[in-house]
């Protein structure tokens, strides 16, 4: 029983370490592509919504890989990208109910 707990603990610690390393890599990337004000905004987004933070990060990474980022992104452009993602998420749908 104790051996199983030890294995589970080691597995969990490895997961935590992997998550820390991934976040360190994300922050390094963001430091390269974002201006300081935009980076601060991104960290505030991360604190309020991890899901939105990851979506914006993925979009920035995609744009960078495809050569669509020219220079560093400022806070205004970052806010515009976030707004587009929120817009897509909250598209209203209308349904007609039949009587």
**Hunting for tokens 């104790």 — which residue is that?**
2
Is 80 exceeded by the pLDDT of residue 93? Answer: no
List, in order, residues 6 or more apart from 45 with CB less than 8 Å away. Answer: 52, 53, 56, 82
> pLDDT per residue over 17-65, tens digit each?
999 999 999 999 999 999 999 999 999 999 999 999 999 999 999 999 9
CB atoms within 10 A of CB 64: 14
Q: Which of these, 68, 62, 72, lies nearest to 30 by C-alpha position?
A: 72
Domains of the chain as residue ranges with CATH: 2-85 (1.10.8.140)
What pLDDT was estimated at residue 92? 59
What pLDDT was estimated at residue 89? 60
Q: Report residue 87's pLDDT band, with 50, 70 and 90 as the boundaries.
A: confident
In this structure, are residues 56 and 45 in contact, taking their beta carbons and an 8 Å threshold? yes
């Amino acid at each position: 029983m104790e051996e199983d707990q030890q294995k589970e603990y080691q597995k969990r610690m490895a997961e935590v370490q992997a998550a820390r390393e991934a976040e360190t890599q994300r922050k390094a990337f963001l430091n390269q592509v974002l201006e300081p004000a935009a980076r601060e905004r991104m960290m505030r987004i991360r604190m309020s919504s991890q899901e939105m933070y990851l979506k914006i990060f993925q979009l920035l990474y995609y744009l960078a890989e495809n050569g669509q980022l020219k220079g560093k992104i400022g806070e205004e452009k970052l806010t515009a990208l976030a707004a587009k993602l929120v817009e897509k998420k909250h598209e209203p749908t209308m349904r007609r109910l039949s009587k």
